[in-house]
Amino acid sequence: MKPLQVIEQSETSVEHEQLDFGSVLPSSNVDAASLDSTAAINECSRIQKSMLAVRQAIFAASGLPGLQSAMASHLQHHCHAVHLCWHAPAGTQIGQTERLEGLLSPAEGISSVLRDYLKQAAKECTLRNEICSFAMSSKLRLFALPVPAFAGHSLLLVSENQTTPEALMAHVTPHLLMLSSFTAEWAMRQAGIQSAVNARSVAAMIQLVAHVHSADDVNSACQRLVDSLQHYLKADRVVVGLCRRGASEVRVAAVSGGMVVDRFSEETRLVESVLQESLVRSACGVWPVLDPVNRHALLSHQQLAESGFGKFLISVPIRAESGEAVGSLLVVLAAEESAAVSTDRVRDVERFLRAGAGAMVVEIGVPEEDVRHVTAGMTVDIQLEAVPEEKVQAVIRSVHPRAELLDGENVFIAEADIPNNNAILRPGMRGLADVSTRRHSLGWNLFHKPAAWLAGVVKCAACLIFQPSS
């Protein structure tokens, strides 16, 4: 990746190689040559402390919110920041649209004209992979900084000009380059930490499989599973439920710590409802939901959490190599000292439970006017945005009986299993699906929707005309 450069959109252009951190001096027009040696040493010491402080703050961040806070605090105190916001592009996950997030003040109050201007500046700097500068007025200047650690994201700074445009450029640009360097270093450290976590997870998984495999019977294996997971994940409780042979109902098989299961208690009923909900959804469930656009109604998870069973609930279905449903797993976590730490821990546990899945479940949004033509057993061709050059063929295994709201449209979710042998697929990816229904004539394909709509209008009008008066 080429080093960041500064692109001046009006008349000034400052190259990366021309910059040095001596220009981080405050814009008070103090002549460095007139400073005595003691004052110069003190000023250099202050700059070094400032750089060290922001570097430590960035490295202490565990995720995007902490990183944003560290960068915003530094720019607010050193770059005459009038407005500061973070631009995130539209993503592949459902509901992940392009957005501007205010770091010093809410972004909701920004006018539509300024919002479009900021988005355009963000896209420009991301496309160029360069720091771009835009003159907004005689007093205000916009700086756009791409953030390579998060693909497509950028930081937008509106700074107030207290001297000349050239002096403002010379003052702000080194700070942005410094933040870009620290952010890239932070991303590399995070990747190293994640690699170490993945290695520990694989080792723990191997040890867990060997420990469970050596059990004498199913009950002993289930108990070893939940006890080992509780110890490794530092969970409050772990519950595993199994389906009886030939049945789809999940029953509690073991609880960590060897707790005795009361089959007729209300708590056991709620736990089994959560295990059943996880199996029916064929997906990992987390309560409280971490993603606000999560469209699945985890009602059983909510009821169990509200009963006081645990603060955080993470469930995952268990399937045999043949794809047959055999049960579900539930992990209960306690709250940490802060919400951010709790969220990170829940995500780590969810990632661990997802590990090892050889197949993924694709959810296909079928429009409500077409759902009557889609049934289990039909073939579907799937083309994912992440792998557009390849098409994956799968078979629909079920269609949800209740409609859901997806991108403002009522749809019914059809589920199909697709292989993930090369581990490219990730939860949240989007794409297009082509379901092969039974064959119809060309006339039916062209006119069945308008005909059905007209029939519905006539039927509705008839109901209104012949409705008896009260």
Q: Which range has the worst mean pLDDT, 177-186, 231-240, 299-308, 392-401?
A: 392-401
| pLDDT score recorded for residue 47 | 73
Q: Which of 82-86, 361-365, 418-422 has the lowest mean pLDDT?
A: 418-422
- 92 has a pLDDT exceeding 70: no
- For residue range 118-134, list pLDDT tens digits in order: 999 999 998 888 899 99
Q: Do the Cβ atoms of 346 and 290 come closer than 8 Å?
A: yes
Query: Other CB atoms closer than 10 Å to residue 377's CB: what's the count?
Result: 7
Read off the tokens for 269: 């009923």
Residues 436-467 pLDDT 10s: 776 655 554 555 555 544 444 333 233 233 33
- Assign 239 a pLDDT band (cuts: 50, 70, 90): very high
Q: Check whether 43 has a pLDDT greater than 50.
A: yes
**AA identity, residue 353:** L
Q: Which residue has the higher pLDDT, 185 or 385?
A: 185
Instruction: Tell me the C-alpha distance between 21 and 447, whole Å.
Output: 69
Residue 238 has pLDDT above 90, yes or no: yes
User: Tens digit of pLDDT for each residue in 258-284?
Assistant: 888 888 899 999 999 999 988 887 777
- What pLDDT is attached to residue 10? 45
Q: What's the mean pLDDT in 339-354?
A: 74
Burial category of 338 from C-beta neighbours within 10 Å (exposed 0-12, middle 13-18, buried 19 and up): exposed
- What pLDDT does residue 144 have? 93
How sure is the predictor about 23, in pLDDT bands with cuts at 50, 70 and 90?
very low
Quote the percentage of the chain above a pLDDT of 90: 10
Rounded mean pLDDT of 109-118?
Answer: 86
Q: Give 313's pLDDT tier (boundaries 50, 70, 90).
A: very high
Q: Are 280 and 297 in contact (CB under 8 A)?
A: no
Please tell me the predicted confidence (pLDDT) of residue 156.
93
Domains of the chain in sequence order: 6-190 (3.30.450.40), 215-356 (3.30.450.40), 360-442 (2.40.30.170)
Q: What is the pLDDT of residue 291?
A: 57
Count other Cβ atoms within 10 Å, centred on residue 363: 19
Phi, psi of 115 (to 5 degrees): -60, -45
Least confident of 3-7, 199-203, 213-217, 362-366: 3-7
pLDDT at position 145 is: 92
Name the one residue in this structure whose structure tokens are 């995130």.
Answer: 88
DSSP secondary structure letter of residue 217: S
Q: How many CB atoms lie within 10 A of CB 189?
A: 12
What is the band of 228 on the pLDDT scale with cuts at 50, 70, 90?
A: confident
Q: Which of 21-35, 245-259, 288-302, 336-350 has the lowest mean pLDDT?
A: 21-35
> Cis omega before residue 89 (within 30°)?
no
pLDDT of residue 470: 34
Tell whether the model's pLDDT for residue 22 goes beyond 50: no
Q: Which residues contact 237 (CB under 8 A, 6 or more apart)?
A: 230, 255, 256, 257, 259, 310, 331, 332
pLDDT value for 341: 66
State the pLDDT at residue 426.
65
Residue 292 pLDDT exceeds 90? no
Instruction: Quote the pTM value.
Output: 0.50
Between 29 and 100, residue with greater pLDDT: 100
The string of pLDDT tens digits covering residues 139-154 is 889 999 998 888 889 9
For residue 370, the model assigns a pLDDT of: 81
DSSP-assigned letters across all residues of 269-329: HHHHHHHHHHHHHTS-EEES-SSTT--S--HHHHHHHHTTS-SEEEEEEEE-TTS-EEEEE
